[in-house]
A and B are shown apart, each in its own frame.
Chain A
Amino acid sequence: MSGIRATHELHARRFSRNLGVAVALAVFVAIVFALTVVKMKRGDPLQGFDHVVRPGMEDSGS
């Protein structure tokens, strides 16, 4: 049971593209995570206004 092997130049190209997309997605996830940590540590409001006015959030100055 060997792994998937590239049998054509096309497969190598697809692999490099998939790898690039995977790295880009991993970077995106890392940035969203890091941003979340920064904003939570600072105590930013994590929930914005929806269709209902919330007096408590107005006081927070957001």
Chain B
Amino acid sequence: MPDLAISAAQEHEPTFGDYVALLKPRVMSLVVFTALVGLLVAPASLHAIEAVAAMLFIALGAGAAGALNMWYDADIDSIMRRTMKRPVPSGRVAPDEALAIGIGLSGLAVVMLGLATNVLAASLLAVTISFYVVIYTMWLKRRTPQNIVIGGAAGAFPPMIGWAAATGSVSMEACLMFALIFMWTPPHFWALALFMRSDYENAGVPMLTVTHGRPAARRHILAYTLLLVPVSLWLALGPVGGPVSLAAAVVLNLMFVRGAVQICMRPEAVAQGDGYAAEKAFFRASLFYLFLHFGAFLADAVVRQAS
């Protein structure tokens, strides 16, 4: 009998690693990095302890939103190859537990960010979590092909939160950093949707590739990539930017636009023939684009401090 009891208990005995996976650490790393840059390039400074605490609670809030997303999307995550091994769809973490962790950590992150920094930063974090969970996950994701365009706002808030944590206000520079991630999100996810082929279709998620066809998605990738250029250059030429940012913006945008044009011109048969090599390369390049862009803002901030 004891063995039977142990076998039954094992079904819902997650490891600590499962809890960490529930918080989507890879997404969290992008959130932390962009929020950190927002905090460091702002024209005000926090005590190191406050800055570390702010980063930790922003990361915790992002992780909590990820857990709530995983709880709500468990049904479609279990269908898609890319997501079926996540803790909830694979049965390693019970849905109720994911919900409890998501709600608990969301509250903790918002309250603690407010206490560590200020009410504006905490409010923006609360808006971000709500936007991602309610507006994107529960409302838009299963209803409209514009899901990731509008839902992308949730991922765009972190540098603004970092800026607000340092300054207690939101300025044009913070809005431009928001805009940079907002315009970057659609090409990033549509490139993924192109090479994940039938994943979204099988799960019934109305991605642009499913509702309007793959050629339309290719055209949209190019359109959003072109719209990204002025935002990137505006930031690089503004107070947050500098020579490093400008050089990075010119080089990265040239590469990104070149990749988008290539994707736009490719017939589906050719892409299928080479295993979506260009789409995969564009997806990887999009990650570098964002990391290097924000890295360049950070480098310029260091140069400004040094001089």
Which of A's residues lie within 8 Å of B, judged by CB?
8, 10, 13-14, 16-17, 19-21, 31-32, 34-35, 37-38, 42
Indicate if the CB atoms of B10 and A10 lie closer than 8 Å: yes
Please name all residues of chain A whose beta carbon is closer than 8 Å to the beta carbon of B9 when the two chains form the complex: 10
**Closest B residue, CB atoms, query A33:** B49
Bound complex: CA A19 to CA B17 (Å):
11
Indicate if the CB atoms of A34 and B49 lie closer than 8 Å: yes
Indicate if the CB atoms of A38 and B50 lie closer than 8 Å: yes
**Which of A8, A14, A31 contacts B56 (CB under 8 A)?**
A31
Please name all residues of chain B whose beta carbon is closer than 8 Å to the beta carbon of A13 when the two chains form the complex: 13, 15
| Interface residue B116 (Cβ < 8 Å from any Cβ of A) | yes
Indicate if the CB atoms of A20 and B50 lie closer than 8 Å: no
The A/B interface has a contact count, at CB < 8 Å, of: 36
Please name all residues of chain A whose beta carbon is closer than 8 Å to the beta carbon of B15 when the two chains form the complex: 13, 16-17
Indicate if the CB atoms of A38 and B52 lie closer than 8 Å: no
Indicate if the CB atoms of B50 and A17 lie closer than 8 Å: no
Indicate if the CB atoms of A35 and B50 lie closer than 8 Å: yes
Bound complex: CA A37 to CA B53 (Å):
13
**Which of B16, B53, B116 contacts A17 (CB under 8 A)?**
B16
**Closest A residue, CB atoms, query B117:** A35
Would you give 14 A-B contacts (Cβ < 8 Å), ordered by A? A8-B6, A10-B9, A14-B13, A16-B15, A16-B16, A20-B16, A20-B20, A21-B16, A31-B56, A34-B53, A35-B49, A35-B115, A38-B49, A38-B50
Please name all residues of chain B whose beta carbon is closer than 8 Å to the beta carbon of A32 when the two chains form the complex: 112
| Interface residue B204 (Cβ < 8 Å from any Cβ of A) | no
Please name all residues of chain A whose beta carbon is closer than 8 Å to the beta carbon of B49 when the two chains form the complex: 31, 34-35, 37-38
